[in-house]
């Protein structure tokens, strides 16, 4: 049996869905001597205090980070630099700084210049979540059986990387290591573009005539309903994802548009074989995802909470 991972003091900046889930999962794993949570929004901090998933709560990110062995930043990607600046003066020598942002290269570029050289910046991304936000939406088992992608910079301190890896494993995840640009390309097609498609189709439906729109709601038991769940995801978080993973998203959108044009052509010319071939391939992908155990547990959790 390997040694249980333990940090004397862990600070989490951002107490929303992911920050509060990380706090709960760390609590469940007993991985912190002291766990401190910070959020700049007083209402969020008050909710977090009432739920009580940490030992200490403060609006001051610098105060939370003081003497921490590990700081995990769980704010929207566009707010990472501001948090980095706020915690930099109080970070102790050898502190590990990580994050949970959905984009990795831009986060590294935002944090690396503002953090002291005597700290270890190792970005990460748990590939697990829901369309909800805020501390009430979080839960300790969110990361169970899910991937956590860590994107260490060149020359990373191996000891620090090992500790962060062990922590995510203690929170229930399987860790995968890759470069930040590769992460951003893969997530552009598996997560970012699908969200954009959902935002777009729900937007198109909402632009329809009033009478049609009410029918859209009435008959949304079909495929549309699944899109509305994704399109209910946090506007600030997703604005920041698209602004910070611009190149990879635009590259994947280019391919998507080409494939959509091919589908339009197949429909126009009655090419049933082309349609059937594609739908068979995509059905197979769904089966492989289910077989690999990467199904929709977290999404289902979100749905059940909503109902
Ligand atoms: N929602 C999801 O399913 C997933 C989100 N992520 C990533 O996790 C991060 C957090 O997302 P969520 O927890 O979903 O968002 P959330 O909206 O639930 O929580 C974000 C929190 O950060 C706080 N915040 C914003 N700016 C701040 C600042 N300058 N200082 C201190 N606190 C600040 C907000 O007040 C809010 O409470 C994002 O970077 C997102 O890309 C990663 C995996 C899944
Ligand atoms: O709710 C869903 O379907 C998601 O896709 C959750 C999610 C959102 C953002 C991420 O970076 C990772 C996971």
| Residue listed under structure tokens 């869905």 | 17
Residue 297 domain-assigned (yes or no): no
Same domain, 169 and 191: no
CA distance to 281, 284, 285, 307, per residue, from 274 (Å): 11, 16, 17, 38
Nearest to 10 by CA among 57, 66, 71: 71
Tens of pLDDT along the chain (307 residues) come to 458 999 999 999 999 999 999 999 999 999 999 999 999 999 999 999 999 999 999 999 999 999 999 999 999 999 999 999 999 999 999 999 999 999 999 999 999 999 999 999 999 999 999 999 999 999 999 999 999 999 999 999 999 999 999 999 999 999 999 999 999 999 999 999 999 999 999 998 888 777 677 787 777 767 888 899 999 999 999 999 999 999 999 999 999 999 999 999 999 999 999 999 999 999 999 999 898 876 554 444 443 344 3
Same domain, 151 and 91: yes
Both tokens of 286, joined, read 């769904």
Same domain, 163 and 48: yes
Residue at which a domain ends, from 178, 213, 242:
178
Nearest to 39 by CA among 69, 11, 60: 60
Residue 16 domain-assigned (yes or no): yes
For the chain, the helix, strand and coil percentages under 3-state DSSP, each to the nearest 5: 55, 10, 30
Nearest to 101 by CA among 300, 256, 289, 243: 243
Is 76's C-beta closer than 6 angstroms to any atom of ligand 1? Answer: yes
Residues 49, 76 contacting (CB under 8 angstroms):
no
Residues 119, 97 contacting (CB under 8 angstroms):
yes
Domains of the chain: total? 2
Tell me whether 0.95 is exceeded by the ipTM.
yes
Residue 300 domain-assigned (yes or no): no
For helices 193-206 and 210-218, the axis angle rounded to 10 degrees is: 130
Residue at which a domain ends, from 138, 154, 178:
178
pTM of the model as a whole? 0.94
Residue 280 domain-assigned (yes or no): no
- What residue owns the CA closest to ligand 1's atom 34? 14
Same domain, 142 and 196: no
State the residue range of the domain holding 105. 7-178
Same domain, 174 and 223: no
Is 102's C-beta closer than 6 angstroms to any atom of ligand 2? Answer: yes
Ligand 1 nearest atom to the CA of residue 41, by list position: 35
């Amino acid at each position: 049996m390997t040694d249980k991972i333990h940090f004397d003091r862990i600070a989490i900046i951002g107490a929303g869905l992911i920050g509060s889930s990380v706090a709960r999962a760390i609590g469940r794993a007993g991985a912190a001597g002291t766990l401190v949570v910070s959020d700049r929004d007083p209402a969020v901090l008050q909710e977090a205090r009432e739920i009580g998933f940490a030992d200490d709560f403060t609006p001051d990110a610098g105060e939370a980070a003081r003497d921490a062995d590990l700081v995990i930043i769980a704010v929207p990607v566009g707010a990472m630099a501001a948090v980095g600046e706020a915690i930099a003066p109080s970070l102790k020598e050898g502190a590990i700084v990580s994050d949970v942002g959905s984009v990795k290269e831009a986060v590294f570029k935002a944090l690396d210049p503002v953090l002291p050289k005597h700290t270890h910046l190792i970005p990460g991304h748990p590939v697990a979540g829901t369309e909800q936000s805020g501390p009430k939406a979080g839960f300790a088992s969110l990361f169970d059986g899910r991937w956590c992608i860590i994107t260490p910079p060149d020359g990373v301190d191996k000891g620090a990387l090992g500790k962060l890896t062990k922590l995510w494993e203690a929170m229930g995840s399987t860790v995968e290591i890759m470069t930040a640009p590769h992460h951003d390309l893969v997530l552009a097609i598996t997560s970012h573009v699908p969200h954009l498609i959902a935002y777009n189709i729900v937007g198109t439906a909402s632009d329809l005539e009033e009478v049609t729109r009410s029918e859209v709601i009435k008959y949304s038991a079909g495929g549309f309903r699944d899109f509305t769940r994704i399109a209910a995801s946090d506007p600030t978080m997703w604005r920041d994802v698209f602004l910070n993973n611009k190149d990879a998203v635009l590259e994947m959108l280019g391919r998507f548009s080409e494939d959509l044009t091919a589908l339009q052509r197949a429909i126009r010319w009655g090419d049933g074989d082309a349609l059937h071939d594609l739908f068979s391939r995509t059905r197979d992908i769904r089966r492989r995802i289910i077989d690999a155990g990467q199904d929709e547990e977290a999404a289902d959790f979100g749905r059940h909470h909503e109902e």
